[in-house]
Structure 1
Amino acid sequence: MKEIGVRTSKKSLRGTVGTVAAVAVLALAGCGSSTPSTPGGSGAPGGMQVPNLKALDKLGTPEGEVNVLAWPGYVENGSNDPKVDWVTDFEKSSGCKVNIKTFGTSDEAVQLMRTGQYDTVSASGDATLRLIAAGDVEPVNTSLVPNYADIFDSLKMKPWNSVNGVAYGIPHGRGANLLMYRTDLVKPAPDSWGAVFDQAGAQKGKVTAYDSPIYIADAALYLMTAKPDLGIKNPYALDDKQLAAAVDLLKAQKANVSEYWSDYLKEVQAFKNGSTTIGTTWQVIANVAQGEKAPVEAVLPKEGATGWSDTWMVGAKSTHKTCAYKFIDHIVSPKVNAQIAEYFGEAPANKKACAETADPNHCKVFHAEDEAYFSKVRYWTTPIAACLDGRTDVKCTDYATWTKAWTEIRNS
């Protein structure tokens, strides 16, 4: 993997804020109304019961402001770095003042959206269906977002951003959860997730894993090929028996884990000093580690990988919906989507963004246009009782069950 320069900071990666700050939240249900969104597409979780909400039918007069809930690094106005600002011009041209609130984890984002205080949120796939089911977000009218036409088709109308053929958001960016290892301490070079599961003992006490209930899907993905008799077809659609197998695998792994990570700086340091030699990572973290001369490599294992595709969603209780739509269209426009992708460290969702990146190699490094690569990525999708793999003869485990299981794993 080619080493590249990375314009990033601790504030520009998902998950870091949640490790250093506690956030008080309210748990209020959301609701809203408008007109139907454009139906279509395949892969939506059919049969999922959702509130009867409608999408905005047309834009009105901008309301003067928009309250944005976002991953750190997605909405920069120059306050963190004067050179990093894609908000100020939007405010001037639209008349919509952007009020920014960042969050550190998907769980935090879900709780904050339930307050009804935010007009739009950049939700990852482990949050989207929870927001939809609770009525905290409403369908989107994609015809009101002109730049939607240039979003990669492979990201549209998917199980994490649509339900029953109705769009609930606009894709923003994507990335894979990769396997990183110390090239001097892990030999031969691994090509399978088995290196952190069944063969984890070879690096006893030096394995790392992502600290989130959604990591259960990584174990499930590995079991799809390691134990095909379990019948796992979708790592986010696990019945009780399949979830139990994934939990058992993760409990066995824990004996070899040095640290569960959510702060990328800690992961980089651990790989540099050798206290961690192998585990899950993101491309941008591998780039940072290599930039700091750590002897590491990151690969997409032969089983494929989990990953994320983030979605801009509209709050059901939003009182600034015209500004919200204008903001979303701005944020996924080619130039801005390129700026965010480089700053945050991911592949842009707008296919025209690759022509706008400052680093001409950015899209190549992050596989932005490589659909063969991303065809091996199982994007985060909220586990729900209605099996996402289409089964109707069993009930699948939902995210609340996964959260309880993750606590059990971490405390085992």
Structure 2
Amino acid sequence: MSVITIPEGMPQYAEKPRLDVEAIRADFPILSRTVNGHPLVYLDSAATSQKPRQVIEAIADHYLHHNANVSRSVHTLGTEATEAFEGARATVAGFIGAPRAEEIVFTKNSTESINLVAHAFSGTAADPRFRLGPGDEIVITEMEHHSNLVPWQLLCERTGATLKWLGVTDQGRLDESNLDELITERTKLVSMVHYSNILGTINATSRVTKRAKEVGALVLLDCSQSIPHLPFDAVDYGVDFVAFTGHKMLGPTGIGALWGRYELLEAMPPFLGGGSMVETVTMPRTTFAPPPARFEAGTPPIAEAVGLAAAVRYLQEVGMEAIQWHEKELTAYALDALATVPGLHVFGPTVPVGRGGTISFSLAAPDGIPIHPHDVGQVLDSLGVQVRVGHHCARPTCVRFGVAAMTRASFYLYTTTDEVDALVRGLAQVRKVFA
């Protein structure tokens, strides 16, 4: 078994916080079902997490007893819905350490959150921090999800700005060797992933953030994978924007959030126009509501916000430190177990330090010929083991490692070592099929 060391910046505990995994699993009805005659082994939480009964019941209760639109009603149901929706905003703000609830903008997912920020940049932006044109630069990394790559490509095409990126080492770590040359006075924004959805790498962001601030650039952190799994405080990271999504943190699909420093949100133009985001409307022109309403046009995801708040409360009750330790120990166990599988190669860090419970790998048949990840996934599915296959919306990362696709297993608070063992047995079966 690997020795687990506490990485720099991680809280130090006299005694490791522990999870009662079996009690947690009892809250997730789906985990008791079978797939193809086998017990379900769900190892795809990086794509979407399962939902506990408490979240499902909170959404159902809203629709059964409090359903109405928000913000404009004076009747009882409308007031209850508004209080629940704004209460959810406050709950989410508290969960990530936001100084003000008004700094939380509800979106439909991380992708929309990032696009909202990208929309604020233009060649004619009133605020110089968002003014972008030829000669200006945006810096990302080579391990980004497409949602933190494509919006910046499109923005650069619109404005004539240049997109640059930090590379990835052979070990799956961020290559910061040319950081000072890459982030310069021409850099207007640095947008980077905190926890890679494909390599499992947890990036230490302090050097990048420090350099960005030295040159006056704004910083966005994509925390889609980290906020569900790690204790997180937005202020401590010293960034300007944080994007995350509800469905990866036990909440429903259709809701995510953008955290931004309030004075920046105030300087940003609306993303979508319509009802609820206005202050005054006349036929010639419109003035806009202050944040966050300015960015929440139309009827918002009300029940989804209620469900997300229930998910946050569930995570808080379990304890994010306990979740972090559980996944760290589980990842160490999985890395050791996968190392026993002949023909298997892990992409990304192979030690449980500075990495999370998302493990992507390739698998070769006994004759050494690579087995396509789609075939790996299909055989595993026949055994009830659910993994992800493909480029995981991170194709440039696959290209960096010379493969078209990877197989990915990802863990969460409800994952057990028995499920890791089922994965290893399943991979042995895959190799037999292709022997």
Short-chain TM bin: under 0.3
Report the structure number with the largest CA radius of gyration. 2
TM-score by length of 2: 0.26
